[in-house]
Chains A and B, each alone.
Chain A
Amino acid sequence: MNGPVLNTQSVRIPDPKHAALNRIEQVEWYKLLVESVQDYAIFLLDTSGKVTSWNKGAQKFNGYKAEEIIGKHFSVFYPEKDKKRGKPEWELAEVRKYGRIEDEGWRLRKDGSRYWANVVITGLYDNSGRLRGYAKVTRDLTERKKNEDALKEANRVLKHQQKELQKLNRSKDEFISLASHQLRTPATIVKQYLGILKAGIGGPLTPEQIELLEKADLSNERQIETINDLLRVAQIDAGKVNLDKQRTDVAELVKSCLDEQADLLRQHNQSLAFNRTEKPALANVDIARLRMAIENLVNNASKYTPDGGKIEVLVKTDNNEVLVSIADNGVGIKESDLPKLFKQFSRIHNELSEHAGGSGLGLYWANKVITLHGGQIGVTSKVGKGTTFLIRIPSRNK
């Protein structure tokens, strides 16, 4: 075994059962302590800054053996730049002023290579208060500095990537807008010609022919709906939506939505119950957009409830919020599907989803619109029992 060791023939191991160590034994133990530590360079300087002791850690960091370094000035550990600036002398001057100094910087090894050191220099005094030397304790933090620098660089790269992604996101929204506008024209043309055929303007049709045209028409309508949804979503994602807020009785707004959707519900034999708070449920809302969001939720309620089912809509106020709840007793949503609900193009599969149609963008858009109003949409559901959506909108602008 190399390095400092204890001579157990002359130095005892401390033991509470036996007498305390004598002075010489204590000194031997302190020598062993300092000389053995490999993770810190711990050594003495005299008042002029010359090295007067060495330890295992110092040898490990600096590369010098004790006999090579003792008697040399400690400025030999400093890079040329620091020596020129007078850094070593300045550090000793600081210690003489304040008793200690802590510093981080590059230090040089015997072979000229450098390492990042954390250095503490402490003044050593005699019993008359006179400075008699310095204690130098150094830690090699090269690894840590490497990691910190790598982290800074990674951060810089991340920030740059973030900016690039944001740019890409914006151009994605512009592209979607452009493409959707372009797609509207041919879809509109198909709509017209299918309508012309269905209306018999191109000549009388057999029932079978009408049915075939119906199928094409339905699909084209779905295409048009998706295009409209895409445009709405691209607009709101690009942050280009300015809400046209007006002070409105939300209960009245909801009621008029429901009146328009009465036919749809009747087609499916679904009952609709509407209840509202007596006083006006006032809030500052973008009427057209809130209508669309409500329509979307009621449509969903109808789509995912079997024929003969029940939909209940309730509008009430609570402190400074207007609450709109839309509850159905339909197929319900699995707990595992709930997080996907408000995502773009989310598709949830259940026994009614095959014929549900839709673009998968409605809830995403509705959620964004409500959020823009400073509100939120929540959902609770139980498979086989039904689903309740709850919209909360602040009554006053925040």
Chain B
Amino acid sequence: MPKILLVEDEPLLRESYRIVLEAVSHEVDSAANGLEALRCCRDNIYDLILLDLMMPKLDGIGFLKKFQKNSKTKETRIIVLSNMTAGDKTNQALKLGAHKYVQKSQVSPTQLIKLLRTELAAA
């Protein structure tokens, strides 16, 4: 079962993504901000990280800067799932190691599942 880290500060949204991911047999860990996400990453290796950008305490960019790229994590796919319009921040995220940027309001649960399938196959 693929292991996914879900990083999203908005509780209702986080919950909805968790419901979707678990419904299609993914193991899901949740984090409400970059700091919690880093803690999760210390103890686990994930197949895929869904990363929001605008979060309190440590935002998505902050997380990417601190995320340890090593032999174990090099297979981890990072998808930025943000409601920001494409621009400087999203480009920066891609430069810092995110593989893809997707805008939340453009992605339905069905489309999210399809997206994950593609990304996990690419890993």
Contacts and interface: CB of A to CB of B under 8 A. Distances in A.
A181 B104 CA distance: 12
| B interface SS class | helix
Nearest to A240: B87
Given A181-B83, A196-B16, A189 B109 contact: no
Interface in A198-232: 198-199, 201, 224, 227-228, 231-232
Nearest to A217: B108
A195 interface: yes
Interface string A180-204: 0100110111011101101101000
Contacts of B25: none
A189 B20 contact: no
Interface string A242-270: 00000000000000000000000000000
Given A181-B83, A184-B83, A196-B20, A189 B110 contact: no
A193 B105 contact: no
A228 B108 CA distance: 16
Contacts of B83: 181, 184-185, 188
B98 to A, nearest CB: 18
Nearest to B22: A201
B12 interface: yes
Nearest to B111: A195
Contacts of A185: 10, 13, 83
Contacts of B120: none
B122 interface: no
B10 A189 contact: yes
B115 interface: no
Interface in B72-123: 83, 85-86, 104-106, 108-110
Contact of A187 (B19, B20, B105): B105
Contacts of A228: 105
Contacts of B13: 185, 188-189, 192
A110 B109 CA distance: 92
Contacts of B109: 192, 195-196, 199, 201
B85 A189 contact: no
A201 B105 contact: no
Contacts, number: 51
A192 B17 contact: yes
| A interface SS class | helix
B87 to A, nearest CB: 9
Interface string B14-32: 0011011001000000000
B52 to A, nearest CB: 11
Contacts of A196: 16, 19-20, 23, 109
Contacts of A191: 105, 108
A369 to B, nearest CB: 15
A105 to B, nearest CB: 62
B10 A201 contact: no
Nearest to B12: A189
Contacts of B10: 185, 189
A185 B105 CA distance: 8
Contacts of A192: 13, 16-17, 20, 108-109
B4 to A, nearest CB: 16
Contacts of B106: 224
Given A195-B110, A201-B23, A227 B16 contact: no
Contacts of B16: 189, 192-193, 196
Contacts of A235: 85
B16 to A, nearest CB: 4
27 contacts: A181-B83, A184-B104, A185-B10, A185-B13, A185-B83, A187-B105, A188-B13, A188-B83, A188-B105, A189-B12, A189-B16, A192-B13, A192-B16, A192-B20, A193-B16, A195-B108, A196-B19, A196-B20, A196-B109, A198-B110, A199-B20, A199-B23, A199-B110, A201-B20, A227-B105, A228-B105, A288-B86
Interface of A: 181, 184-185, 187-189, 191-193, 195-196, 198-199, 201, 224, 227-228, 231-232, 235, 288
